[in-house]
């Protein structure tokens, strides 16, 4: 089996966490400590590789409350945003494993199955690209039009249409989410007005 495509969702980590008031000095801090987890085998393998002997307690659900009620010195659990740890007075100190949703497949697919896979990948990638971009529509003064277009070049080039008001144009383009606010601020400084930001459902390039 091989990873065909990383799907960009359900990202999380399996991490060790301890009460925030503890002075954590490194992985060997866990020597001789009691650790609560729903994933004992993963943790046992990790500790074994690092020469750590700890008392691992398997718990199903609500692992994060274990230190507060005196059942454990630390926990080993799934961490996504980290808000659950914070609300229980814990801090993440060691990431053991990272995870995300992926598409896997076997080697040597038949031609027919490979064609089906490529069509599926095309549709997945179009959806993934749309999540990272926004469709932007704005009104631009013609004397600043070239400067504004440089800020939002889009997939190939922006669409520019004259407005009924003389001296103004409507500019349509695509903007990457990672640089969104910086570009919006720059557009405003160049005189852009009436900026509309619209989600993109699919993006095919």
Do 93 and 137 lie in one domain? The reply is: no
User: For 76-125, what is each residue's pLDDT tens digit?
Assistant: 999 988 888 999 999 999 999 998 888 898 888 889 999 999 999 898 88
Neighbours of 111 (CB within 10 A): 7
Q: Which of 48, 80, 99 is the last residue of a domain?
A: 99
Q: Which of 78, 99, 120 is the last residue of a domain?
A: 99
Domain of 186, in residue numbers? 131-199
Q: Which of 48, 76, 99 is the last residue of a domain?
A: 99
Do 9 and 89 lie in one domain? The reply is: yes
Split into its structural domains, the chain has a count of 2
Asked whether residue 170 is assigned to any structural domain, the reply reads yes
User: For 22-73, what is each residue's pLDDT tens digit?
Assistant: 999 999 999 999 999 999 999 999 999 999 999 999 998 889 999 999 999 9
What's the chain look like in SS3? CEEEEECCCCCEEEEEEEECCCCCCCHHHHCCCEEEECCHHHHHHHHHHCCCCCEEEECCCCHHHCCCCCCCCEEEEEECCCHHHHHCCEEEEEEEEEECCEEEECCCCCHHHHHHHHHHHHHHHHHHHHHCEEEEEEEEEHHHHHHHHHHCCCCCCCEEEECCCCCEEEEEEEEEHHHHHHHHHHHHHCCCEEEEEEECCCCCC
Asked whether residue 121 is assigned to any structural domain, the reply reads no
Q: Of 90, 67, 64, 88, give the one whose Cα is nearest residue 78.
A: 64
Predicted confidence at residue 178, as pLDDT, reads: 83
Query: 36: domain CATH number?
Result: 3.40.190.10
């Amino acid at each position: 089996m091989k990873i065909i495509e990383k799907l960009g969702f359900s990202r999380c980590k399996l991490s060790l966490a301890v009460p925030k008031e503890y002075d954590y000095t490194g992985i060997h801090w866990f020597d001789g400590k009691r650790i609560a987890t729903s994933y004992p085998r993963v943790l046992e393998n990790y500790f074994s590789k690092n020469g750590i002997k700890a008392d691992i307690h398997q718990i199903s659900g609500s692992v994060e409350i274990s230190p507060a009620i005196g059942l454990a010195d630390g926990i080993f659990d799934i961490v996504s945003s980290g808000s659950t740890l914070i609300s229980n007075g814990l801090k993440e100190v060691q990431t053991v494993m990272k995870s995300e949703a992926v598409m896997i497949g076997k080697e040597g697919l038949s031609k027919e199955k490979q064609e089906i896979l490529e069509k599926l990948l095309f549709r997945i990638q179009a959806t993934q690209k749309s999540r990272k971009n926004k469709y932007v529509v704005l009104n631009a003064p013609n004397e600043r039009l070239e400067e504004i277009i440089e800020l939002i070049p889009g997939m190939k080039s922006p669409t520019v249409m004259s407005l009924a008001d003389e001296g103004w144009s409507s500019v349509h383009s695509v903007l990457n989410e990672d640089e969104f606010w910086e570009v919006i601020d720059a557009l405003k400084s160049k005189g852009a007005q009436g900026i509309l930001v619209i989600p993109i459902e699919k993006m095919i390039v």
